[in-house]
Amino acid sequence: GQKNFSSHVCPECGMTYAIGESEDERMHKSYHMRVMRGIPFPGWANERVVARFLDGTRILLYQYGDSVLHRKKIREVIAYTDSELGFASDIEEDPTTSP
């Protein structure tokens, strides 16, 4: 029989894709996992917690001069958020900490 190439909206991630179209299904799988899992972040040893929520999430404070690894994770979160919102990332570096 013929494959069904009609569009389908995933009820969990909201992506519209064509069922039966291998490239669409591959893109959906990748997008779905990224949206549903978010950015892996187990936490930092010396994190500054600004607020905690009932679901276990928290808001952290990052300051210039913090660890380079912290800065990399912050950049990853900003890039992901900007991509989802359709913005261009424009992160200004602190001239005292930039190479």
Residues in Cβ contact with 80 at an 8 Å cutoff, skipping those fewer than 6 apart: 34, 39
Residues of the chain with pLDDT under 50: 1, 99
At residue 2, the pLDDT reads 52
Whole-Å CA distances, 37 to 13, 24, 34: 11, 20, 5
At residue 31, the pLDDT reads 87
Its sign, for the CA torsion 61, 41, 36, 33, is: positive
At residue 35, the pLDDT reads 82
At residue 28, the pLDDT reads 93
pLDDT in tens, 44-68: 888 999 999 998 889 999 998 899 9
Q: What is the pTM of this model?
A: 0.56
Helices (H), the chain: 22-37, 68-85
